[in-house]
């Protein structure tokens, strides 16, 4: 009965979403406050219903109710409780439920914290969220119903895909979806603003916290996914330019552009049309990603199962929402007035450059991702566009952006002094080169290009600090005064510095790993050793082991550096019983920012085993940088200014209109 109630709650949430779609929009159009007041109630109601439904599905997984087809296909009574929970979204139906849950969560958040928005804007935003929700609930109920039943219930489940039996599944998809779906709010803001025809600096201020929140979660989600793939797949790689990775990376790039252009719009009321377009495109890319992953067009670990009817349905959603929004945009864009003027060399100019490069890069990734599919459907030829393509195009295109990043915050609005900024950054450039040459020497050479790359990374980091240095006035005013000024800086300025610094850290990790990593594939017998990155790995032997739902052959290794023991590593090959599926658990040991990585291969008939070892210098930086970017996002999000007109201040304001008008 509980299960059926979950389905009913889901269906009822569709009805609520339809109410949310219609009444508030009509209210905003007719200026009817009562109809508009339905919006927050409906959004919260929808959230409660979806939460009930999602909770019921989770309950079914927890108690291993195999009368639910979804549980039977993707769970097993013996897997640890954590995987029973995370297994809820480790499959198509469940992941769509998570998608919907987070979409409803964002609608509810807008309803709760949107007190600073004009009533009609809030009503329209929630209505647009209602449209998206309605489309996806319909999709779930009609093509991906997670509450399908089987009677009589099978005795045992078919197990969660062993690759997914990892903490990563508990963290990566929710974070990623918080980002992916979070951009729906920006989309709704854009569509709402276009419907009202009122797009101004204040709109940019209101949309920014949502873009920032979504961006922050997406950054975390992508980084987490990358680290998960790195340690789980046992291939030693951390980014594969896999179409599914690209599908999450494209909204991130567009979202990054959106964050920056919204800044220009808020400060100068320039780039209005562009910002609205970006808000639409960013979520469109999220939808496109959902389509690519969920329709079975792509094959990857993410494509759980394919069913053509789903693909067509999502494609229809995609076409209606993207097409509709862009049509509305085309109708209204002409009526938007141009904003403030600025010189090419100015903060605005720098942000335009940022936008240009980010969108062109996004387009490149999009082409590389879609071209093989387009070619196949047109000519039947099958090609693969792999990492070399993306490394060449994306890498080169990003280069000027990375060079320009430290300049941005140093330039003044409207008209700026490029030479002055360059002088201020002189120290960053010099520091970059000194540190790069030091690292190069320390790592015993390597490609000369690596020196330039590492110099670039440190230039980014020092450049980010340079901005804070000059804003604080260090060197000009007494140290304590400068510190106080630093503490008094707007949070968003500190957040910017963090994010740019984090970018530098990630670049450092990427360059260092590509340039200095060492790899060895050897066959080893107990007692034999292999060397990588100055460490000597000795194979101690294999041992059989037993997990809750798998058996494993665990290889134990000891690691020494210069004759001194620094610890043990073990890697194992597991066979998961229910699916008889083998996996490799890599052994990873972290030394500072670097890692030693061991993956087992095949057992040889003579008792040896193939072992793959890597020394990955500075690899932690890749994800650590993302964490710093994320911290920057949160710091910026805590900026008081993003909540201007928030409920606390509103009490005062409600009584104030007449007063303000008199001003």
Residues 329-388, interacting with another protein (CB under 8 A):
340-341, 343-344, 349, 352, 356-357, 360, 363-364, 367-368, 371, 381-386, 388
Among 47, 53, 58, 64, binds another protein (CB under 8 A): 64
Give the binding range for another protein (CB under 8 A) out of 114-122, 418-426, 446-454, 506-514. Answer: 114-122
Q: Which of 41, 48, 40, 49 is nearest to 141 (CA)?
A: 49
Q: Which residue's CB is nearer to another protein, number 294 or number 471? A: 471
List, in sequence order, every residue forming a beta bridge with 320; answer none if it has no partner. none
Q: Binding pattern to another protein, positions 404-443, x when CB under 8 A?
A: --------xxx-----------------------------
* Degrees to nearest 5, angle at CA 48 with 43 and 51: 120
Closest distance of CB 484 from another protein, Å: 10
Among 38, 281, 619, 622, binds another protein (CB under 8 A): 38
Among 444, 563, 564, 663, binds another protein (CB under 8 A): 663
Q: Which residue's CB is nearer to another protein, number 91 or number 219? A: 91
Residues 462-491, interacting with another protein (CB under 8 A):
471, 473, 485, 488, 490
C-alpha distances out from residue 493 to 337, 417, 486, 636, 637, Å: 29, 20, 10, 7, 11
141 exposed, middle or buried (CB, 10 Å; 0-12, 13-18, 19+)?
Answer: middle
Per-residue tokens: 461 = 């980091």
Per-residue tokens: 498 = 């963090």
Terminal CA-CA length for the chain: 62
**Distance between CA atoms of residues 332 and 326, nearest Å:** 10
Per-residue tokens: 41 = 């109630």
Q: Which residue's CB is nearer to another protein, number 320 or number 650? A: 650
304 lies in the binding site for another protein (CB under 8 A): yes
**Distance between CA atoms of residues 565 and 571, nearest Å:** 18
Closest distance of CB 342 from another protein, Å: 8
Per-residue tokens: 579 = 């699916």
Q: Which residue's CB is nearer to another protein, number 385 or number 566? A: 385
Map tokens 């509709």 to a residue: 324
202 lies in the binding site for another protein (CB under 8 A): yes
Closest distance of CB 529 from another protein, Å: 16
Burial state string for 314-336 with b = 16 or more CB within 10 A and e = fewer than 16: beebbeebbeebeebbeebbeeb
Closest distance of CB 234 from another protein, Å: 8
Closest distance of CB 206 from another protein, Å: 8
**Residue 358 CB partners (closer than 8 Å, separation 6+):** 253, 254, 256, 257, 260, 401
Q: Phi and psi dihedrals of 413, rounded to 5?
A: -65, 155
User: Helix, strand or coil for residue 370?
Assistant: helix
Residues 638-657, interacting with another protein (CB under 8 A):
641, 644-645, 649, 653-654, 656-657
Among 53, 107, 120, 517, binds another protein (CB under 8 A): 120
Closest distance of CB 300 from another protein, Å: 8
518 lies in the binding site for another protein (CB under 8 A): no
C-alpha distances out from residue 77 to 64, 83, 84, 94, 277, Å: 6, 11, 8, 18, 48
Residues 128-187, interacting with another protein (CB under 8 A):
141-142, 145, 147, 149, 151-156, 158, 161
List, in sequence order, every residue forming a beta bridge with 610; answer none if it has no partner. 523
316 lies in the binding site for another protein (CB under 8 A): no
Give the binding range for another protein (CB under 8 A) out of 215-223, 266-274, 508-516, 531-539. Answer: 266-274
Give a three-class secondary structure readout of 12-63.
HHHHHHHHHHHHHHHHHHHCCHHHHHHHHHHHHHHHHHHHHHHHHHHHHHHC
Among 5, 426, 442, 479, binds another protein (CB under 8 A): 5
Q: Which residue's CB is nearer to another protein, number 312 or number 319? A: 312
205 lies in the binding site for another protein (CB under 8 A): yes
């Amino acid at each position: 009965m509980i299960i059926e109630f979950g389905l009913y709650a889901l269906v009822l949430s569709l009805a609520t979403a339809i109410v949310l779609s219609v009444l508030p929009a009509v209210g905003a159009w007719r200026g009817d406050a009562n109809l508009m007041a339905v919006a927050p109630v409906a959004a919260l109601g929808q959230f409660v219903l979806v939460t009930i439904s999602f909770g019921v599905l989770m309950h079914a997984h927890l108690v291993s109710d195999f009368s639910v087809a979804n549980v039977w296909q993707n769970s097993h009574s013996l897997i640890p409780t954590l995987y029973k929970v995370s297994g809820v979204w480790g499959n198509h139906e469940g992941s769509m439920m998570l998608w919907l849950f987070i979409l409803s969560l964002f609608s509810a958040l807008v309803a709760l914290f949107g007190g600073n928005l004009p009533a009609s804007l809030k009503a329209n935003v929630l209505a647009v969220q209602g449209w998206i929700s309605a489309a996806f609930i319909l999709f779930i109920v009609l093509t991906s119903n997670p509450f399908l039943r089987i009677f009589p219930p099978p005795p045992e489940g078919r197990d969660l895909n062993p690759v997914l039996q990892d903490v990563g599944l508990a963290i990566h998809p929710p974070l990623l979806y918080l980002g992916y779906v979070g951009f729906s709010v920006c989309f709704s803001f854009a569509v709402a603003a276009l419907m009202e025809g009122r797009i101004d600096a204040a709109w940019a201020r209101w949309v920014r916290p949502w873009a920032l929140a979504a961006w922050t979660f997406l950054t975390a989600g992508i980084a987490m996914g990358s680290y998960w793939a790195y340690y789980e797949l046992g291939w030693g790689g951390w980014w594969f330019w896999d179409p599914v990775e690209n599908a999450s990376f494209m909204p991130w790039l567009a979202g990054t552009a959106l964050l920056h252009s919204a800044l220009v719009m808020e400060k100068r009321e320039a780039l209005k049309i562009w910002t609205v377009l970006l808000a639409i495109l960013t979520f469109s890319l999220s939808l496109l990603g959902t389509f690519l992953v969920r329709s079975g067009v792509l094959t990857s670990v993410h494509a759980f199962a394919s069913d053509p009817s789903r693909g067509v349905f999502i494609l229809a959603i995609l076409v209606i929402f993207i097409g509709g929004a862009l049509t509305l945009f085309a109708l209204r864009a002409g009526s938007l007035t141009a904003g403030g003027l600025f010189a090419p060399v100015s903060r605005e100019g720098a942000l335009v450059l940022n936008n240009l490069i980010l969108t062109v890069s996004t387009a490149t990734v999009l082409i590389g991702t879609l071209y093989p599919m387009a070619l196949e459907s047109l000519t039947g030829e099958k090609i693969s566009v792999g990492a070399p393509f993306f490394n060449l195009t994306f890498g080169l295109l990003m280069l000027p952006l990375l060079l320009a990043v430290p300049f941005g915050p140093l330039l003044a609005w409207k008209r700026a002094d490029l030479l002055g900024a360059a002088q201020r950054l002189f120290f960053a450039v010099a520091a970059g080169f000194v540190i790069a040459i030091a690292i190069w020497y320390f790592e015993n050479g390597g490609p000369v290009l690596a020196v330039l790359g590492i110099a670039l990374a440190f230039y980014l980091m020092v450049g980010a600090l340079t901005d804070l240095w000059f804003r604080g006035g260090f060197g000009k005013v007494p140290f304590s005064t400068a510190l106080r000024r630093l503490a008094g800086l707007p949070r968003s300025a500190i957040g910017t510095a963090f994010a740019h610094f984090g970018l530098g850290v990630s670049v450092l990790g990427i360059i260092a790993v590509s340039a200095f990593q060492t790899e060895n594939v050897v066959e080893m017998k107990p007692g034999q050793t292999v060397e990588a990155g100055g460490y000597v790995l000795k194979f101690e032997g294999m041992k059989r082991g037993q997990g809750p739902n798998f058996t494993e052959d665990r290889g134990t290794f000891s690691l020494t550096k210069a004759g001194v023991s620094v610890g043990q590593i073990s890697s194992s090959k597991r066979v998961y019983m229910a699916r008889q599926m083998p996996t490799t658990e890599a052994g990873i040991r972290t030394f500072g920012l670097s890692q030693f990585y061991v993956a087992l291969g095949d057992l040889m008939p003579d008792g040896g085993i193939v072992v793959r070892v890597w020394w990955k210098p500075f690899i932690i930086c890749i994800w650590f940088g993302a964490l710093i970017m994320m911290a920057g996002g949160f710091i910026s999000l805590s900026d008081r200014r993003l909540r201007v007109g928030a409920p606390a201040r509103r009490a005062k304001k409600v009584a104030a209109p007449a007063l303000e008008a008199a001003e």
